[in-house]
Chain A
Amino acid sequence: MNFKAIYYVNQFFGQIGGEDKAGMEPMFKEEAIGPAMGFNTLIKEEGQVIGTIICGDNYFNENKEDAMEFIMDIVKKHNPDVLIAGPAFNAGRYGMACAGLANEVNEKLGIPVVTGMYIENPGLDAVNGTAYVVEVSDSAAGMREALPKMAKLAIKLGKGEELGKPDVEGYLPQGKRLTVFSDKRGSKRAVEMLIKRFKNEEFTTELPMSVFDKVEPAPAIKDLSKATIALVTSGGMVPIGNPDRIQSASAQKWGKYNVANIDALKGNDFCTIHGGFDPVYANEVPDRVAPLDLLKQNEKDGVIGKVYDYFYTTTGTGTSVGKSVTFGKEIGQELKDAGVDGVIVTST
Protein backbone atom coordinates (compact mmCIF):
# COMPACT_ATOMS: atom_id res chain seq x y z
CA MET A 1 0.00 0.00 0.00
CA ASN A 2 1.33 3.44 -0.86
CA PHE A 3 2.47 5.60 2.01
CA LYS A 4 0.97 9.05 2.51
CA ALA A 5 3.04 12.20 2.78
CA ILE A 6 2.00 15.73 3.62
CA TYR A 7 4.26 18.50 2.37
CA TYR A 8 4.88 21.89 4.07
CA VAL A 9 6.12 24.94 2.15
CA ASN A 10 6.24 28.66 2.75
CA GLN A 11 4.32 31.30 0.82
CA PHE A 12 6.99 31.59 -1.87
CA PHE A 13 7.42 27.90 -2.69
CA GLY A 14 3.67 27.51 -2.28
CA GLN A 15 3.37 29.91 -5.25
CA ILE A 16 1.27 32.44 -3.35
CA GLY A 17 3.69 35.35 -3.33
CA GLY A 18 6.94 36.77 -2.03
CA GLU A 19 7.70 38.87 1.04
CA ASP A 20 4.38 40.63 0.56
CA LYS A 21 2.65 37.37 1.44
CA ALA A 22 4.92 36.33 4.28
CA GLY A 23 2.16 37.12 6.74
CA MET A 24 -0.36 34.75 5.19
CA GLU A 25 -2.21 32.32 7.42
CA PRO A 26 -1.71 28.61 6.76
CA MET A 27 -3.84 26.86 4.20
CA PHE A 28 -4.08 23.29 3.06
CA LYS A 29 -4.55 22.17 -0.52
CA GLU A 30 -5.24 18.53 -1.37
CA GLU A 31 -2.66 18.46 -4.12
CA ALA A 32 1.11 18.68 -4.50
CA ILE A 33 2.23 22.29 -4.96
CA GLY A 34 5.65 23.70 -5.82
CA PRO A 35 8.51 21.40 -4.79
CA ALA A 36 5.92 18.87 -3.62
CA MET A 37 5.18 18.19 -7.28
CA GLY A 38 8.73 17.18 -8.11
CA PHE A 39 8.91 15.31 -4.84
CA ASN A 40 5.72 13.43 -5.65
CA THR A 41 7.24 12.20 -8.90
CA LEU A 42 10.29 10.94 -7.03
CA ILE A 43 8.26 8.88 -4.57
CA LYS A 44 5.50 7.80 -6.95
CA GLU A 45 6.39 4.11 -6.95
CA GLU A 46 5.85 3.79 -3.24
CA GLY A 47 4.05 6.83 -1.91
CA GLN A 48 2.03 9.90 -2.62
CA VAL A 49 1.83 13.49 -1.47
CA ILE A 50 -1.80 13.80 -0.42
CA GLY A 51 -1.68 17.52 0.22
CA THR A 52 0.40 20.64 0.77
CA ILE A 53 0.30 23.01 3.72
CA ILE A 54 1.31 26.55 2.76
CA CYS A 55 2.06 29.11 5.45
CA GLY A 56 3.64 32.56 5.50
CA ASP A 57 7.12 32.59 7.07
CA ASN A 58 6.30 35.66 9.15
CA TYR A 59 2.96 34.27 10.17
CA PHE A 60 4.49 31.02 11.43
CA ASN A 61 7.21 32.69 13.48
CA GLU A 62 4.93 35.39 14.91
CA ASN A 63 1.90 33.22 15.56
CA LYS A 64 3.44 29.88 16.26
CA GLU A 65 0.63 28.55 18.43
CA ASP A 66 -2.08 29.38 15.93
CA ALA A 67 -0.03 28.11 13.01
CA MET A 68 0.71 24.85 14.81
CA GLU A 69 -2.94 24.42 15.79
CA PHE A 70 -3.86 24.51 12.12
CA ILE A 71 -1.03 22.20 11.11
CA MET A 72 -1.69 19.67 13.85
CA ASP A 73 -5.39 19.58 12.91
CA ILE A 74 -4.53 18.80 9.31
CA VAL A 75 -1.96 16.21 10.25
CA LYS A 76 -4.29 14.50 12.73
CA LYS A 77 -7.12 14.50 10.21
CA HIS A 78 -5.11 13.02 7.34
CA ASN A 79 -2.71 10.88 9.35
CA PRO A 80 0.26 10.88 6.97
CA ASP A 81 3.05 8.35 7.33
CA VAL A 82 5.66 11.04 6.89
CA LEU A 83 5.82 14.82 6.84
CA ILE A 84 8.10 16.70 4.45
CA ALA A 85 9.08 20.34 4.98
CA GLY A 86 11.13 22.72 2.83
CA PRO A 87 13.93 22.45 1.86
CA ALA A 88 14.52 25.80 3.52
CA PHE A 89 18.03 26.34 2.08
CA ASN A 90 19.43 29.29 4.01
CA ALA A 91 16.12 31.04 4.64
CA GLY A 92 16.11 31.56 8.41
CA ARG A 93 12.39 32.06 9.03
CA TYR A 94 11.55 29.15 6.77
CA GLY A 95 14.11 26.98 8.55
CA MET A 96 12.68 27.95 11.93
CA ALA A 97 9.21 27.07 10.67
CA CYS A 98 10.39 23.66 9.46
CA ALA A 99 12.10 23.05 12.80
CA GLY A 100 9.09 24.26 14.78
CA LEU A 101 6.63 22.00 13.06
CA ALA A 102 9.02 19.05 13.14
CA ASN A 103 9.47 19.40 16.90
CA GLU A 104 5.77 19.40 17.58
CA VAL A 105 4.54 16.91 14.99
CA ASN A 106 7.26 14.40 15.77
CA GLU A 107 7.16 14.77 19.55
CA LYS A 108 3.38 14.77 19.91
CA LEU A 109 2.31 12.46 17.10
CA GLY A 110 5.42 10.39 16.48
CA ILE A 111 5.29 11.05 12.75
CA PRO A 112 8.75 11.14 11.11
CA VAL A 113 9.74 14.42 9.46
CA VAL A 114 12.19 15.00 6.62
CA THR A 115 13.46 18.45 5.79
CA GLY A 116 16.45 20.10 4.14
CA MET A 117 18.56 23.05 5.29
CA TYR A 118 21.81 24.76 4.51
CA ILE A 119 24.37 24.02 7.25
CA GLU A 120 24.20 27.57 8.61
CA ASN A 121 20.44 27.90 8.66
CA PRO A 122 19.48 28.93 12.22
CA GLY A 123 16.61 26.48 11.97
CA LEU A 124 19.12 23.66 12.15
CA ASP A 125 19.98 24.40 15.77
CA ALA A 126 16.29 24.60 16.58
CA VAL A 127 15.57 21.03 15.50
CA ASN A 128 15.51 18.94 18.70
CA GLY A 129 16.51 15.69 17.04
CA THR A 130 12.94 15.47 15.76
CA ALA A 131 13.61 15.60 12.03
CA TYR A 132 15.96 14.08 9.51
CA VAL A 133 17.65 17.09 7.97
CA VAL A 134 19.32 16.70 4.60
CA GLU A 135 22.18 19.13 4.04
CA VAL A 136 21.38 21.31 1.04
CA SER A 137 22.92 24.31 -0.69
CA ASP A 138 22.26 27.87 0.38
CA SER A 139 19.85 28.78 -2.42
CA ALA A 140 16.90 27.40 -4.34
CA ALA A 141 19.30 26.64 -7.18
CA GLY A 142 20.01 23.49 -5.19
CA MET A 143 16.42 22.22 -5.35
CA ARG A 144 17.13 19.62 -8.05
CA GLU A 145 19.86 18.08 -5.92
CA ALA A 146 17.97 18.34 -2.65
CA LEU A 147 14.68 16.66 -3.51
CA PRO A 148 16.04 13.21 -4.45
CA LYS A 149 18.03 13.07 -1.20
CA MET A 150 14.95 13.97 0.80
CA ALA A 151 12.82 11.54 -1.18
CA LYS A 152 15.20 8.69 -0.46
CA LEU A 153 14.78 9.17 3.29
CA ALA A 154 11.06 9.78 3.03
CA ILE A 155 10.48 6.54 1.14
CA LYS A 156 12.22 4.50 3.83
CA LEU A 157 10.42 6.29 6.64
CA GLY A 158 7.10 6.16 4.83
CA LYS A 159 7.43 2.40 4.60
CA GLY A 160 8.13 2.21 8.31
CA GLU A 161 11.80 1.37 7.94
CA GLU A 162 14.39 2.57 10.45
CA LEU A 163 17.13 4.80 9.22
CA GLY A 164 20.76 3.98 9.85
CA LYS A 165 23.56 6.35 10.73
CA PRO A 166 23.67 9.89 9.31
CA ASP A 167 26.73 9.44 7.10
CA VAL A 168 25.32 6.25 5.61
CA GLU A 169 21.78 7.44 4.95
CA GLY A 170 22.59 11.02 4.02
CA TYR A 171 21.25 13.30 6.75
CA LEU A 172 22.89 15.64 9.25
CA PRO A 173 23.86 14.20 12.66
CA GLN A 174 21.12 14.76 15.21
CA GLY A 175 23.29 14.65 18.30
CA LYS A 176 22.06 11.11 18.99
CA ARG A 177 24.18 8.09 19.89
CA LEU A 178 23.46 4.59 18.65
CA THR A 179 24.89 1.40 20.09
CA VAL A 180 26.05 -1.04 17.42
CA PHE A 181 27.98 -4.32 17.48
CA SER A 182 31.56 -4.44 16.26
CA ASP A 183 33.71 -7.37 15.15
CA LYS A 184 36.61 -6.26 17.35
CA ARG A 185 36.45 -5.32 20.98
CA GLY A 186 36.93 -1.68 21.93
CA SER A 187 40.35 -2.07 23.52
CA LYS A 188 41.75 -3.51 20.31
CA ARG A 189 40.20 -0.75 18.19
CA ALA A 190 41.50 1.90 20.55
CA VAL A 191 45.07 0.57 20.50
CA GLU A 192 45.02 0.26 16.70
CA MET A 193 43.83 3.87 16.42
CA LEU A 194 46.52 5.03 18.84
CA ILE A 195 49.26 3.23 16.90
CA LYS A 196 48.10 4.87 13.68
CA ARG A 197 48.18 8.22 15.43
CA PHE A 198 51.74 7.68 16.65
CA LYS A 199 52.83 6.73 13.16
CA ASN A 200 51.06 9.78 11.73
CA GLU A 201 48.92 7.47 9.64
CA GLU A 202 45.36 8.32 8.70
CA PHE A 203 42.67 7.14 11.03
CA THR A 204 38.97 7.71 11.41
CA THR A 205 37.58 8.60 14.79
CA GLU A 206 34.59 6.53 15.83
CA LEU A 207 33.03 9.44 17.62
CA PRO A 208 33.65 12.90 16.16
CA MET A 209 34.27 15.41 18.89
CA SER A 210 31.55 18.05 18.97
CA VAL A 211 32.61 21.54 18.04
CA PHE A 212 31.60 23.85 20.84
CA ASP A 213 30.64 27.43 20.26
CA LYS A 214 31.53 30.24 22.65
CA VAL A 215 28.98 32.06 24.78
CA GLU A 216 29.51 35.67 25.76
CA PRO A 217 30.21 35.69 29.53
CA ALA A 218 27.19 37.07 31.36
CA PRO A 219 27.88 40.22 33.38
CA ALA A 220 28.87 39.69 37.01
CA ILE A 221 26.35 40.14 39.81
CA LYS A 222 26.67 43.65 41.19
CA ASP A 223 25.18 43.13 44.65
CA LEU A 224 25.46 39.57 45.87
CA SER A 225 23.64 40.36 49.11
CA LYS A 226 20.49 40.99 47.12
CA ALA A 227 20.97 38.21 44.60
CA THR A 228 18.97 35.00 44.20
CA ILE A 229 21.28 32.10 43.49
CA ALA A 230 20.10 28.80 42.02
CA LEU A 231 21.78 25.43 42.42
CA VAL A 232 21.94 22.96 39.53
CA THR A 233 23.82 19.69 39.33
CA SER A 234 24.68 17.01 36.83
CA GLY A 235 25.64 14.72 39.68
CA GLY A 236 22.27 13.03 39.74
CA MET A 237 21.26 14.02 43.29
CA VAL A 238 17.56 13.19 43.65
CA PRO A 239 15.07 12.64 46.46
CA ILE A 240 15.38 9.07 47.68
CA GLY A 241 13.22 6.86 45.50
CA ASN A 242 13.98 8.93 42.41
CA PRO A 243 10.33 9.95 42.01
CA ASP A 244 10.81 11.28 38.51
CA ARG A 245 12.75 8.24 37.37
CA ILE A 246 15.73 10.17 36.06
CA GLN A 247 18.07 7.79 34.26
CA SER A 248 21.41 6.74 35.75
CA ALA A 249 23.15 7.37 32.47
CA SER A 250 22.21 9.02 29.22
CA ALA A 251 19.60 11.13 30.95
CA GLN A 252 16.45 11.85 29.00
CA LYS A 253 15.10 14.33 31.53
CA TRP A 254 15.92 16.60 34.43
CA GLY A 255 14.11 17.09 37.72
CA LYS A 256 13.39 20.06 39.94
CA TYR A 257 12.75 19.89 43.65
CA ASN A 258 11.57 22.47 46.13
CA VAL A 259 14.33 23.15 48.65
CA ALA A 260 12.83 26.28 50.19
CA ASN A 261 12.19 24.64 53.55
CA ILE A 262 15.32 22.56 54.02
CA ASP A 263 18.81 23.54 55.14
CA ALA A 264 20.82 20.96 53.27
CA LEU A 265 20.57 17.92 51.06
CA LYS A 266 20.65 15.33 53.83
CA GLY A 267 21.57 11.69 53.29
CA ASN A 268 18.20 10.66 54.71
CA ASP A 269 16.32 12.52 52.02
CA PHE A 270 18.56 12.61 48.97
CA CYS A 271 20.80 10.18 47.15
CA THR A 272 22.54 9.99 43.83
CA ILE A 273 21.37 7.90 40.89
CA HIS A 274 24.35 8.90 38.71
CA GLY A 275 25.88 5.71 37.34
CA GLY A 276 29.28 7.19 36.56
CA PHE A 277 30.98 7.41 39.93
CA ASP A 278 31.15 5.62 43.25
CA PRO A 279 27.99 6.86 45.01
CA VAL A 280 29.02 6.03 48.58
CA TYR A 281 30.27 9.48 49.57
CA ALA A 282 27.51 11.35 47.80
CA ASN A 283 24.87 9.21 49.46
CA GLU A 284 26.38 9.86 52.91
CA VAL A 285 26.44 13.62 52.46
CA PRO A 286 24.68 14.75 49.27
CA ASP A 287 25.93 18.28 49.85
CA ARG A 288 29.35 16.96 48.81
CA VAL A 289 28.00 17.01 45.25
CA ALA A 290 25.50 19.86 45.42
CA PRO A 291 26.36 22.22 48.29
CA LEU A 292 22.88 23.35 49.30
CA ASP A 293 24.04 23.53 52.93
CA LEU A 294 26.59 26.19 52.12
CA LEU A 295 24.23 28.21 49.98
CA LYS A 296 21.68 28.22 52.79
CA GLN A 297 24.42 29.26 55.23
CA ASN A 298 25.41 32.12 52.94
CA GLU A 299 21.77 33.16 52.80
CA LYS A 300 21.54 33.13 56.62
CA ASP A 301 24.72 35.17 56.85
CA GLY A 302 23.42 37.73 54.39
CA VAL A 303 26.20 37.03 51.89
CA ILE A 304 23.61 36.18 49.27
CA GLY A 305 20.05 37.46 49.11
CA LYS A 306 18.29 34.15 48.68
CA VAL A 307 18.70 30.57 47.58
CA TYR A 308 16.28 29.94 44.72
CA ASP A 309 13.40 27.74 45.87
CA TYR A 310 14.07 25.03 43.31
CA PHE A 311 17.07 22.76 42.93
CA TYR A 312 17.63 21.29 39.45
CA THR A 313 19.25 17.96 38.80
CA THR A 314 20.10 15.48 36.11
CA THR A 315 22.70 12.80 35.34
CA GLY A 316 25.74 13.88 33.41
CA THR A 317 27.28 10.57 32.48
CA GLY A 318 26.60 9.39 28.96
CA THR A 319 24.16 12.20 28.39
CA SER A 320 24.43 13.46 24.84
CA VAL A 321 25.41 17.01 23.96
CA GLY A 322 22.06 17.39 22.22
CA LYS A 323 20.11 16.49 25.36
CA SER A 324 22.36 18.58 27.58
CA VAL A 325 21.73 21.61 25.39
CA THR A 326 17.98 21.01 25.60
CA PHE A 327 18.12 20.67 29.39
CA GLY A 328 20.19 23.83 29.67
CA LYS A 329 17.74 25.76 27.50
CA GLU A 330 14.72 24.56 29.45
CA ILE A 331 16.24 25.10 32.88
CA GLY A 332 17.71 28.42 31.79
CA GLN A 333 14.28 29.61 30.65
CA GLU A 334 12.78 28.79 34.05
CA LEU A 335 15.59 30.54 35.89
CA LYS A 336 15.32 33.56 33.63
CA ASP A 337 11.55 33.74 34.10
CA ALA A 338 12.03 33.49 37.86
CA GLY A 339 14.50 36.37 37.89
CA VAL A 340 17.41 34.28 39.25
CA ASP A 341 20.60 36.37 39.37
CA GLY A 342 23.28 33.71 39.35
CA VAL A 343 23.66 29.95 39.03
CA ILE A 344 26.07 27.40 40.46
CA VAL A 345 26.29 24.21 38.41
CA THR A 346 28.19 21.32 39.95
CA SER A 347 29.43 18.32 38.05
CA THR A 348 30.95 15.03 39.10
Chain B
Amino acid sequence: MVKEIERYGIPVVHMSTITTISEAVGANRIVPTVAIPYPVGNPSLSEAVELDLRTKLVKRALTALTTDVSEVTQF
Protein backbone atom coordinates (compact mmCIF):
# COMPACT_ATOMS: atom_id res chain seq x y z
CA MET B 1 0.00 0.00 0.00
CA VAL B 2 2.86 2.33 0.96
CA LYS B 3 4.41 2.15 -2.48
CA GLU B 4 1.16 2.51 -4.36
CA ILE B 5 0.37 5.71 -2.45
CA GLU B 6 3.89 6.98 -3.10
CA ARG B 7 3.47 6.39 -6.80
CA TYR B 8 1.09 9.37 -6.78
CA GLY B 9 4.03 11.52 -5.73
CA ILE B 10 2.94 11.88 -2.10
CA PRO B 11 5.73 11.22 0.44
CA VAL B 12 4.85 8.25 2.65
CA VAL B 13 6.55 6.93 5.76
CA HIS B 14 6.06 3.35 6.88
CA MET B 15 6.05 2.88 10.64
CA SER B 16 6.54 -0.85 11.06
CA THR B 17 8.17 -3.35 13.34
CA ILE B 18 9.32 -5.91 10.80
CA THR B 19 11.50 -3.52 8.87
CA THR B 20 13.05 -6.32 6.82
CA ILE B 21 9.67 -6.81 5.17
CA SER B 22 9.24 -3.09 4.70
CA GLU B 23 12.66 -2.87 3.06
CA ALA B 24 12.20 -5.97 0.91
CA VAL B 25 8.95 -4.62 -0.43
CA GLY B 26 10.67 -1.31 -1.09
CA ALA B 27 9.13 1.33 1.17
CA ASN B 28 11.41 4.36 0.86
CA ARG B 29 10.96 5.99 4.27
CA ILE B 30 10.77 3.66 7.25
CA VAL B 31 10.50 4.23 11.01
CA PRO B 32 11.15 1.06 13.02
CA THR B 33 8.53 0.65 15.71
CA VAL B 34 8.28 -1.01 19.10
CA ALA B 35 6.46 -4.30 18.66
CA ILE B 36 3.84 -5.98 16.52
CA PRO B 37 0.89 -5.64 18.92
CA TYR B 38 1.75 -2.04 19.78
CA PRO B 39 3.94 -0.39 17.16
CA VAL B 40 3.70 3.10 18.64
CA GLY B 41 3.13 2.23 22.26
CA ASN B 42 4.37 0.11 25.13
CA PRO B 43 1.90 -1.09 27.76
CA SER B 44 4.67 -1.95 30.21
CA LEU B 45 5.51 1.74 30.56
CA SER B 46 3.58 4.28 32.59
CA GLU B 47 1.10 6.38 30.67
CA ALA B 48 3.31 9.43 30.65
CA VAL B 49 6.42 7.58 29.51
CA GLU B 50 4.44 5.72 26.86
CA LEU B 51 3.05 8.97 25.50
CA ASP B 52 6.57 10.36 25.37
CA LEU B 53 7.66 7.30 23.39
CA ARG B 54 4.82 7.76 20.94
CA THR B 55 5.64 11.44 20.62
CA LYS B 56 9.23 10.63 19.69
CA LEU B 57 8.25 7.99 17.12
CA VAL B 58 5.74 10.25 15.40
CA LYS B 59 8.35 13.03 15.41
CA ARG B 60 10.69 10.68 13.55
CA ALA B 61 7.93 9.93 11.07
CA LEU B 62 7.34 13.60 10.41
CA THR B 63 11.10 14.12 10.03
CA ALA B 64 11.10 11.35 7.44
CA LEU B 65 8.37 13.11 5.49
CA THR B 66 10.37 16.31 5.42
CA THR B 67 13.66 14.66 4.42
CA ASP B 68 14.55 13.93 0.83
CA VAL B 69 15.79 10.39 0.30
CA SER B 70 17.24 8.63 -2.73
CA GLU B 71 16.84 5.07 -1.54
CA VAL B 72 15.28 2.99 1.24
CA THR B 73 16.08 4.90 4.42
CA GLN B 74 15.34 4.17 8.07
CA PHE B 75 14.70 7.07 10.43
Contacts and interface: CB of A to CB of B under 8 A. Distances in A.
Same complex: yes
Interface of A: 212-222, 224, 227, 229, 232, 234-235, 276-282, 284-285, 287-291, 293-295, 297-298, 303-304, 314, 324-325, 327-329, 331-333, 335-336, 340-348
A347 B14 contact: yes
A222 B65 CA distance: 9
A331 B41 contact: no
A235 B39 contact: yes
Contact of A287 (B1, B40, B61): B40
A229 B26 contact: no
B67 to A, nearest CB: 5
Contact of B40 (A215, A279, A289): A289
A87 B5 CA distance: 31
Interface of B: 1-18, 22, 24-26, 28-29, 33, 36-43, 50, 54-55, 57-58, 61-62, 65-71
A346 B5 contact: no
Q: Which of B4, B28, B50 has its CB near the most chain A CB atoms (within 10 A)?
A: B4
A281 B38 contact: yes
25 contacts: A215-B26, A215-B28, A217-B29, A219-B68, A221-B65, A222-B66, A232-B1, A232-B5, A285-B43, A287-B41, A288-B50, A291-B57, A294-B55, A298-B58, A324-B1, A328-B2, A335-B5, A336-B8, A342-B11, A344-B15, A345-B13, A347-B15, A348-B36, A348-B37, A348-B39
B33 A343 contact: no
Contacts of B9: 218-219, 336
Contacts of A297: 55
A161 B42 CA distance: 52
Contacts of B12: 218, 342-345
A345 B15 CA distance: 6
A318 B71 CA distance: 27
Contacts of B16: 346-347
A220 B11 contact: yes
A298 B63 CA distance: 12
B40 A288 contact: yes
Contacts of B33: 346
A281 B45 CA distance: 12
A212 B25 contact: yes
A221 B67 CA distance: 7
A219 B11 contact: yes
Contacts of B6: 215-218, 332
A281 B11 contact: no
